[in-house]
Structure 1
Amino acid sequence: MKKTLFIVLGIIFLTACGTNENNDSSSPETEEVIQPEVEVVFEEEPLPVDEKTPVQAIVTAEGEPIEDAEYVDFEIWNEAEGEEASETIEADYTEDGVYEIMYNFKDEGTYQVIAHTQAKGVHTMPQVEVQAGDSHSHEHAEDAEGSHDHGNGEFTVHLVQEEEFSSEEEAELTAHIEQKGEPFENGEISFEISSSQLDKHEFIEAEEVEPGAYQADFDFPESGDYLINIHYEKPQEEIHGHKEEETQVN
């Protein structure tokens, strides 16, 4: 009788071990990151001058339109005026993955257009060059002094401002930086914050939270206008640059 009992217990023990081994081997699969694709398109080129014309971003993933992008913001500036004079406008969703704004290119010349896009948890910001008016102004724009360079358009820097900053709670500052269309990784990034609300300029070191995305927290002491200067560098590669962004704090 004891021998039979030992055999039964042995079978139960082996069965339990086998079950545990199976459970241990089954781990949740790593969720695959879906990379969105963004194409900036215009109805006609060169663009008409001093009249509203559509600027569109077609956002897709694996060939299918993305209808629920967190945001698509167009940043536009005339090269003759420089990136410091850029405008950023939030796009509206239309259909079939198309996000659109109506924009008035007031003067002839060469314009830079960036589609800052957050979709499927991934940030991308394709930049295109487009001509408004005739080709003569295009040639002039290339020779114009004071045009934006920052490595001749090599770097793209964007401060995320989808939510209004408040003086009543800690703000999360996020900057996305690309170099030649690729994430600017392993850089040394800091936010320089200045305002009449501050006694001195504040410098905050940022941490890279994903390729090309840098974050830091800051307590704005009071509501008002602030200037955030994003410094990015890689001393070993002799890369030094900055981008200024104005923001309103409530």
Structure 2
Amino acid sequence: MKMLLYSFLLATLVLSACGTDTPQEENTAQGTEDEKEEAEVAAVPEVEVITDEEPLPVSEETTIQAKVTQDGAPVDDAEYVDFEIWNEKDGQDSSNTIESEHVGDGVYEIQYTFEKKGTYQMYAHTQVGDLHTMPKVTVQVGEMKEDKTTAESGHDHKEGHGDSEFMVHLMTEQTFTAGEDNELVTHINRMEQPFEEAKVRFEISSDQLEAHKYIETEETNPGEYTSTFSFPSAGTYTVNVHYEKPDKEIHGHKEVKIEVK
């Protein structure tokens, strides 16, 4: 009888010890998994825009480069590096977007001809995996006579919520296919910082549609807004990106034309 009692007590102690260790093991495993996920978070790529010595020439082909690195190492497999360039006086609506070519060692390059002298703004839209960055630089093309107003105040930037303050980039590099759910993604920056927690909608119009369609978006990353839309047929569509913060009296929009196949 005593032997049976001792055996019962021993079994109880073993089971209690196992029950005590289980939560600790689970916490350790969870901590390891969290550390692993944290270690796998990719660093934001860094982009350095490189041009010849300013002022850049007018009506002559010039080389513009972007050197892309991540964690200090060259990035040779960026999804794309596109240069968006416009004359400051003409405004961003007059911009040209040029796809670059990878020339090695993390360097992406275009050849571009500036048609007239002036101050130009330039974005290097860069996509590396799921990470998007778009550094902005200002370049001078042709010799400029500096008048008194410019010397005192610098470049003439619009006040308020104009094009010089906000940058809107709708991703159009992918192929849009009729009759399928197509992902629409836009990146919005304000003063070169992600424009977060805004209300963003896509207004879609075309001869292929009976009326304008308004599509709500979700902010998937800081300053990145995403939605999906099924285009009914092939053709040209206009996507008007509306962004606003009513409580701060901010509202703006940018139209982009896309081709659906």
- Equivalent of 2:191, from 173, 177, 180? 180
Q: Which residue of 2 aligns with 1:70?
A: 79
Unpaired runs of 5+ residues, structure 2, are: none
Q: Which runs of 4+ in 1 moved over 3 A?
A: 136-139, 147-150
Q: CA deviation at 1:158?
A: 0.3
- Equivalent of 1:98, from 107, 126, 129? 107
CA distance in 2, matches of 1:120, 1:239: 31
Q: Is the 8 A contact 1:110 1:137 kept in 2?
A: no
Q: Is the 8 A contact 1:36 1:120 kept in 2?
A: no
Q: CA deviation at 1:107?
A: 1.6
CA distance in 1, matches of 2:9, 2:207: 83
Q: Which residue of 2 aligns with 1:9?
A: 11
Q: Is the 8 A contact 1:172 1:218 kept in 2?
A: yes
Bigger radius of gyration among the two: 2
Unpaired runs of 5+ residues, structure 1, are: none
Q: Which residue of 1 aligns with 2:208?
A: 197
Q: Which residue of 2 aligns with 1:119?
A: 128
Q: Which residue of 2 aligns with 1:238?
A: 249
| Aligned residue pair count | 246
What is the CA deviation profile of residues 44-70 of structure 1, one whole-angstrom value per residue up to 9, with x for unaligned ones? Answer: 211122222121112222322222222
Q: Secondary structure at the match of 2:85?
A: strand
Q: TM-score, normalised by structure 2?
A: 0.85
Q: Is the 8 A contact 2:177 2:260 kept in 1?
A: yes
Q: TM-score, normalised by structure 1?
A: 0.89
CA distance in 2, matches of 1:77, 1:209: 28
119-128 vs 225-234, greater mean Cα deviation? 119-128
Letter in 2 for 1:22: Q
Q: Is the 8 A contact 1:34 1:120 kept in 2?
A: no
Q: CA deviation at 1:225?
A: 0.9
* 1:167 matches 2:182: no
CA distance 1:162–1:8, change in 2 (3 Å): farther
CA distance in 1, matches of 2:237, 2:215: 14
CA distance in 1, matches of 2:17, 2:60: 77
Q: Is the 8 A contact 2:91 2:163 kept in 1?
A: no
- Equivalent of 1:45, from 10, 30, 54? 54
Q: Is the 8 A contact 2:202 2:239 kept in 1?
A: yes
